[in-house]
């Protein structure tokens, strides 16, 4: 049993791991559009199953894709999880130089704590990224009112974060409902360096866009025992259309004199987020083998966002996952999961359409997890190999490898004889 002192030591250790990891950021050229690259992973136990976890729940690990799954946690215990991801990207296609065609980074992606408050109510709070913007590229720009075609360099950073409070409530023996209430907030910064023709200085245009609002996701999870060996589970989540309040300021500076040529007044607008649905079915044999499939769609097309050579269109994704668990008996003569092995496949259409071609995203995953029978620690490692882009050589594509590590700490609030 872990004492409170040991628990605090571990918590501080886990919190300290990501401090240095925030220094590096991957470059993602398509994150210049909208609010950046929207995360498709929930960074939890089911990442190794292509994140196909909407119909699943676990007594130890926190499922971020379906708040209703929190009713499956063990009462009086709390779960603490921290997830970090290493990402390596190789770029191919239009505009890519062979000498500068890859990037990598290592970042904290999720911090989460959950507990079973009553027999029917499970709750969780956490922090994770909602979207990320990071790019650096050069382009030619025609100055309005002239015939000058000048070289411009663009650099973007920032993103939108998600602080959330998820709650699940069991309404019947086999059915639970849930809601994830979030606050989305963050900023997107873009710097344009425009080489001025015939002058020694550079015009630097800095744009800062601050975004925020509430965001909700509603969920349902139910199960049906088919026979002695097989159990089926069904999950669905719904996110209504919402919007982010946007405040943008633009400043123009002459680099040769550091003089501010233009100090923009704040511009107020909003960015719409689409309605989304994620549904899944899982079949579980003897609590050991799990087969699951998820289907997800987001209605970006109804928002009518478009720009030069691009537009936002409806997106969809299919994920298939498999898991094999190694079960033992714990000190309380209950089934105890010593470890598990996972596989997954996913594919779908992105919400981006570039040069009249909708981008695709497909790949495969593999994962492995291990739980200690004598301590409160557990861990999950998942690797994802995929490609986002287009078959056209004229359109930039991203070939990526993600390695996600989730550390788990499980302990109870009060000493009890039975649970």
Write the pLDDT tens digit of every residue in 232-274: 999 999 999 999 999 999 888 877 776 677 777 888 998 999 9
For residues 235 and 373, give the distance between their C-alpha atoms in angstroms, rounded to a whole number.
30
Please list the ranges in the chain whose pLDDT falls under 70.
1-26, 95, 140-149, 196-201, 258-259, 329-335, 413-419
**3-class SS shares of the chain: helix, strand, coil, % to 5:** 10, 60, 30
Q: How many Cβ atoms sit within 10 Å of the Cβ of residue 3?
A: 9
For the whole model, what pTM was predicted? 0.86
Only one residue has tokens 């995953």, namely 365
For residues 165 and 162, give the distance between their C-alpha atoms in angstroms, rounded to a whole number.
10
| pLDDT value, residue 7 | 42
Contacts of 242 (CB under 8 A, 6+ apart): 213, 214, 215, 216, 272, 273
Contacts of 99 (CB under 8 A, 6+ apart): none
């Amino acid at each position: 049993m872990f004492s409170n002192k040991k628990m605090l030591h571990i918590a501080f250790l886990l919190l300290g791991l990501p401090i240095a990891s925030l220094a590096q950021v991957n470059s993602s050229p398509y994150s210049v559009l909208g609010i950046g690259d929207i995360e498709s992973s929930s960074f939890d136990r089911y990442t190794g199953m292509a994140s196909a976890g909407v119909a699943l729940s676990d007594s130890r690990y926190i499922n971020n894709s379906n708040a209703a799954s929190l009713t499956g946690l063990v009462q009086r215990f709390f779960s603490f999880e921290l997830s970090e991801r290493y990402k390596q990207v190789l770029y191919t296609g239009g505009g890519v130089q062979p000498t500068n065609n890859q990037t990598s980074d290592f970042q904290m992606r999720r911090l989460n704590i959950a507990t079973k408050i009553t027999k029917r109510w499970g709750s969780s709070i956490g922090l994770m990224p909602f979207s990320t913007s990071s790019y650096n590229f050069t382009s030619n720009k025609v100055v309005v009112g002239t015939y000058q075609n000048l070289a411009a360099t663009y650099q973007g950073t920032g993103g939108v974060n998600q602080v959330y409070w998820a709650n699940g409530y069991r309404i019947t023996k086999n059915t639970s409902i849930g809601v994830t209430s979030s606050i989305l907030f963050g900023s997107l910064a873009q710097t344009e360096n425009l080489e001025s023709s015939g002058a020694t200085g550079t015009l630097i245009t800095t744009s800062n866009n601050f975004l925020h609002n509430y965001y909700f996701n509603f969920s349902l999870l139910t199960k049906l025992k088919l026979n002695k060996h097989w159990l089926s589970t069904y999950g669905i989540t719904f996110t209504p259309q919402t919007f982010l309040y946007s405040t943008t300021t633009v400043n123009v500076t002459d680099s040769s004199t550091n003089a501010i040529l233009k100090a923009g007044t704040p511009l107020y607008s909003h960015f719409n987020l689409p309605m989304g649905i994620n549904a899944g079915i899982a079949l579980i044999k003897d609590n050991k083998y799990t087969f699951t499939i998820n289907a997800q769609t987001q209605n970006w097309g109804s928002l009518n966002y478009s720009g030069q050579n691009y537009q936002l269109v409806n997106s969809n994704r299919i994920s298939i996952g498999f898991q094999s668990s190694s079960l033992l008996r714990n000190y309380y003569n209950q089934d105890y999961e010593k470890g598990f092995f996972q596989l997954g496949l996913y594919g779908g259409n992105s919400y981006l359409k570039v040069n009249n071609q909708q981008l695709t995203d497909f790949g495969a995953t593999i994962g492995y997890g291990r739980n200690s029978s004598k301590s409160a620690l557990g861990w999950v490692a998942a690797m994802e190999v995929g490609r986002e882009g287009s078959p056209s050589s004229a359109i930039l594509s991203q070939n990526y490898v993600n390695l996600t590590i989730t550390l788990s700490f499980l302990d109870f609030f009060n000493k009890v004889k039975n649970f």
